[in-house]
Chain A
Amino acid sequence: MKILKPLIFTAITLLAGFSFATHGFAQAEVADAASAIAEAAAPDEDYLALKAKYGETFDFFTISVLWTLIAAGLVFIMHLGFATLESGLTQSKNTVNILFKNVFVICMGLLVYAVWGFNAMYPGDFGGWFAAGSPITMASYGGTDFSYGGTALCMTGWADFIFQAMFAATAATIISGAVAERIKLGSFMVIGTLLVMFAYPLSGSWKWGGGWLDRMGFYDFAGSTLVHAFGGFAALAAVLVLGARKGKFLEGGTIRPILGHSMPLATMGVFLLFLGWFGFNGGSVLSANPEAVSYVFVTTALAAAAGGFSSIFFSWGLLKKPDLSMALNGILAGLVGITAGADSVTLWSAVIIGLIAGVLVVISILFFDKIKIDDPVGAISVHGVCGVFGTLAVGLPFFNGGNEDLSFFTQLIGTASISIFAFVFSFVVCLIVKAVMGIRVSAEEESEGLDIGEHGQEAYPDFSPSSR
């Protein structure tokens, strides 16, 4: 027990030291408290200056900016949701590749939106078809003033940028799921960058940027068409150029299911997307208007629940067993469907839209498999088909409660023009990429797994994969 003596000695010393120190601390604390109270009595200079600048709009403006920034963070979580969902629904031998693509998309998306996209999408007083982009600058948004957007847009330029930038990146990430397990990494990076940098801001400017669709009266609250149908139809074009995974569609018409490797990841992904959607729709109110934001939260949640509900029972009846992946896709379908009109449809319409979207997505997934279009995660069905549906629903008096400003025909033109544009742009880009650098990995690499082929890494090195 030689160690005992030094231990006891150290303990006593420490105890003594602490008692003296806390005595010292106590005195310091009292002194601190006194000076803090003295300081608090006189308001901070920054606070006073801001309050003087904004005047009576200060409180609402500040809260709106706060809400927009929180919403931007929630939309960011959707990237996490996409990454986990896509990994879960694909094979383990391609997991590193899928995750890598998702990591790339957020990095690329934010940067290209800052360098070109944001200004291309919001050129100011517009009404047209095309506006050139440019990098965001301090001069454009410096001053971070209420005058940036006024009552229509209760936020600073920076808040506007970061909120919209998160949206832009989600448009590219929709495609990464559909082209999974067979697209070449480099090709995907090129296609994704061109889509986010040029195509997304272009079609986005037609409506949110004040372009020709906006002048026409087209309405897309949070992006059923501008983000989801855009991504879904760009994905469809890419999948057509790319072709199906090997062994998915056998001769004689059999469809061989290629199972996802992790249902827990897929489920976590959908719940994260659901969470993020509160920011996606809630933030699209573009202010902290308590009536609008709280209403949007309710319609969003009800539509999601209805979508899951209807897809569960519809797929159960159709396929004889309750399918988890259909339930998950159903929730997303409801969310995509309500995104165009979360603030403008009546309460129970939100539920009905969700119910219809949940059924539509199941039919669509089965349909695309039948016509030999291979979509590993159902992105085309969830985002493309339900995005169009949600946009059209806004134009129907049954759903919008007889709102005179909304017309089915205008909604049709809007969603058709943007969907077709996304499809054509993506199709052309993919064909060019295919010709220049190839778009698909070799058959060997596809069977070995893209993790080894593209990355020389494995996602699960401790486990022996059964699908090589």
Chain B
Amino acid sequence: MKLISAIIKPFKLEEVKEALSEIGIEGMTVTEVKGFGRQKGHTEIYRGSEYTVDFLPKVKIEVAVGSDIVEKAVETIVTVAKTGKIGDGKIFVTPIEESVRIRTDERGDAAI
């Protein structure tokens, strides 16, 4: 079992969700985050004074998937979330030690 954390541009969220659901991944957790990598922020001006905003709004999707479909899931996210412009985001894959479905007490792959 692996946890895929994908940080993407916010307006891509719906598309990524639908693409993942097409390959059989139905559940996910989404958080609104701020961040930057190589994408520079922008300069804003307020009543004559300039200031820079470095942190850009992004969305983080966390999906737990079986090890067999990790590669497929990652590829799907990359294809759909890519705009080709700087600031598209990043994906991190981390191993999951244990997963539990709270309602039924199922464990392991059955819980994902």
Residue positions of A touching B, CB distance < 8 A = 247, 444, 447, 452, 456-458, 461, 464-468
Interface pairs A-B: 5 shortest CB-CB: A464-B57, A456-B44, A456-B45, A468-B10, A468-B57
Is A452 touching B10 in the complex (CB atoms < 8 A)?
Answer: no
Chain B, 30-48, CB within 8 A of any chain A CB: 32, 34, 42-46
**Of the residues A452, A461, A464, A467, contact of B34 by C-beta under 8 Å:** A464
Chain A residues with CB under 8 A of B44: 452, 456-458
How far, in whole Å, are A461 and B56 apart by their CA atoms in the complex? 11
How far, in whole Å, are A452 and B59 apart by their CA atoms in the complex? 19
Is B9 touching A456 in the complex (CB atoms < 8 A)?
Answer: no
- Chain B 17-32 interface 0/1 with A at a Cβ cutoff of 8 Å (1 = within): 0000000000000001
Chain B residues with CB under 8 A of A465: 10, 57
Q: A452-B44, A456-B43, A458-B44 are in contact. List 10 more A-B contacts (CB 8 A).
A: A444-B85, A456-B42, A457-B45, A457-B46, A461-B53, A464-B34, A468-B9, A468-B10, A468-B11, A468-B57
Tell me how far the C-beta of A90 lies from the nearest C-beta in chain B, rounded to whole angstroms: 16
Is B45 touching A467 in the complex (CB atoms < 8 A)?
Answer: no
Q: Would you call the interface of chain B mostly helix, strand, loop, or mixed?
A: strand
Is B45 touching A466 in the complex (CB atoms < 8 A)?
Answer: no
Tell me how far the C-beta of A444 lies from the nearest C-beta in chain B, rounded to whole angstroms: 8
Chain B residues with CB under 8 A of A458: 44, 53
Chain A residues with CB under 8 A of B59: 466
How far, in whole Å, are A108 and B28 apart by their CA atoms in the complex? 50
- Chain B residue nearest to A444 in the complex (CB): B85
Q: What are 23 inter-chain pairs, A to B, with CB distance below 8 A?
A: A247-B11, A447-B11, A456-B42, A456-B43, A456-B45, A457-B44, A457-B45, A457-B46, A458-B53, A464-B34, A464-B57, A465-B10, A465-B57, A466-B10, A466-B32, A466-B57, A466-B59, A467-B10, A468-B9, A468-B10, A468-B11, A468-B56, A468-B57
- Chain A residue nearest to B10 in the complex (CB): A468
Chain B residues with CB under 8 A of A466: 10, 32, 57, 59
How far, in whole Å, are A458 and B52 apart by their CA atoms in the complex? 12
Chain B residues with CB under 8 A of A467: 10-11
How far, in whole Å, are A447 and B56 apart by their CA atoms in the complex? 13
How far, in whole Å, are A461 and B45 apart by their CA atoms in the complex? 12
**Of the residues B9, B11, B32, B42, contact of A452 by C-beta under 8 Å:** B42
How far, in whole Å, are A468 and B34 apart by their CA atoms in the complex? 12
How far, in whole Å, are A461 and B52 apart by their CA atoms in the complex? 12
Tell me how far the C-beta of A244 lies from the nearest C-beta in chain B, rounded to whole angstroms: 16
Tell me how far the C-beta of B43 lies from the nearest C-beta in chain A, rounded to whole angstroms: 7
How far, in whole Å, are A467 and B57 apart by their CA atoms in the complex? 9
How far, in whole Å, are A444 and B34 apart by their CA atoms in the complex? 19
Chain A residues with CB under 8 A of B34: 464
